[in-house]
Structure 1
């Protein structure tokens, strides 16, 4: 019986890994090539190209999920798990909303007169939140979990850390777009910490749409805060970021602290049990 279950887990893991690698490779690299070709024949703005890229990546990923028969596990949602997830992720939600409000207050008033810019920013980061959570929490985290036939607190932590590292390291691709090395390193570190926290919420509620909301709101609040700054503010921010990694220390402490709190020992037994039940 154990060997049958072990084989089932491994086959499931291989399928998730296969489709996950395919989704990452095609979604990121093929979409960039297609949009580059489109830009040569059509006068598309940078925001339109980015929106089209996110739409393509998301559509392809959803097709991959259905082709791999993973939709019942990844896309499943009900009111109870959604409400539980929002309550579990309430600290993240509160921080994101507070940052969003603060960004609106501190933003250059002229920023909001550019309606197209504001709308495109909202669309881009909403689509990004959906895509990245479906991929890194829905596909990748589940793949790492399924790689272990026997579920335990240790294997849950290993799966979470590996999926968060994958999420963080994917931000190295920003180097190709001309982002500086220090800024990219800071983004990788912060994204890894965010991946741990989002993954912890997902493990607690098993509802992908909760972490989609948390992710999208977090990214949106940071984006509006940056885009809405004056040129002097942006320059000062870049100088501070380049001179010291300590600029992201407060957010790292919060994210890692929340992760440890959400996955404390008293909650881990239920998480392990839920992961076992996925294959009953």
Structure 2
């Protein structure tokens, strides 16, 4: 059963990467405007991952938070600070995007967030959480492994950017993956990580454009520090007693097969 579960996780992950690559190759033949092309790819990927989950892996996705608004804000304090800082620097920095184009960028960021959070936090993290629930520190392993797959996925950007920039992006996305995973586990709602992811990508699009996945001026050491800080945040919010609480909240719903909060 364990081998089947992990094989399924790898299959969904690699299948998604292949779908992205094929869609990119096919759409490039039509010489569409860059933003239009990216929007079409992400619309397809959202449909793809929803279909894979509905008719294939049957991952249990959670949308409605099961904690108070105050608790949701408390456990998301650090991500809220990071996103706020990113948006502030985006609006302060000079950019020439027209209003219509900015709306397109926002739509793209939202689509990317829906696809990637459904895949990495909803399906992969959820499946790892179930598979590792009996292991010591299984919650931490699930968070770390899902974040690793999330970060390694961005190595596909080597097709259009340098290895140095890609390395910075891979480290940065690993740190972000830790924060998003903790947000999902502590709120039991994909809405929070989706919102964070969309806002983070939108601010990046405004500052760096569509073709650059990371700021080429960012030293690798800075991203290493960000990984350390995100790791400390994850360890702080996922202490042993919190890990048991997470498992109780996620596993109980799956085992009883109830409807309502889980979809």
**Shared fold, TM over 0.5:** yes
**Gap regions ≥5 residues in structure 1:** 1-9, 229-233
Q: Distance in 2 between matches of 1:70 and 1:279?
A: 14
Superposed, 1:107-186 pairs within 5 Å as: 107-108=94-95, 111-112=96-97, 114-148=98-132, 150=134, 152=136, 154-176=137-159, 178-186=160-168
Offset at 1:85?
A: 3.6
Query: Does the 8 Å CA contact 2:185/2:246 hold for their aligned counterparts?
Result: yes
Offset at 1:69?
A: 6.6
Q: Distance in 2 between matches of 1:263 and 1:279?
A: 22
Q: Under a length normalisation based on structure 1, what TM-score does the superposition of the two structures give?
A: 0.78
Query: 1:247–1:93: structure 2 CA closer, same or farther, 3 Å change rule?
Result: same
Offset at 1:93?
A: 1.8
What is the match of residue 64 of structure 2?
78
Query: 1:37–1:271: structure 2 CA closer, same or farther, 3 Å change rule?
Result: closer
Aligned residues: 251
**Which region of structure 1 is more displaced relative to structure 2, 55-64 or 245-254?**
245-254
What's the Cα RMSD here?
A: 2.7
Q: Which runs of 4+ in 1 moved over 6 A?
A: none
Q: Distance in 2 between matches of 1:224 and 1:272?
A: 38
Offset at 1:258?
A: 1.9
Query: 1:87–1:21: structure 2 CA closer, same or farther, 3 Å change rule?
Result: same
Q: Distance in 2 between matches of 1:34 and 1:166?
A: 20
Query: 1:257–1:15: structure 2 CA closer, same or farther, 3 Å change rule?
Result: closer
Query: Does the 8 Å CA contact 1:58/1:127 hold for their aligned counterparts?
Result: yes
Q: Under a length normalisation based on structure 2, what TM-score does the superposition of the two structures give?
A: 0.82
User: Is 2:78 aligned against 1:91?
Assistant: yes
Deviations 1:174-206 (A, max 9, x none): 112x21111111111111121112111111122
What is the match of residue 279 of structure 1?
255
Q: Distance in 2 between matches of 1:101 and 1:128?
A: 21
Query: 1:246–1:38: structure 2 CA closer, same or farther, 3 Å change rule?
Result: closer
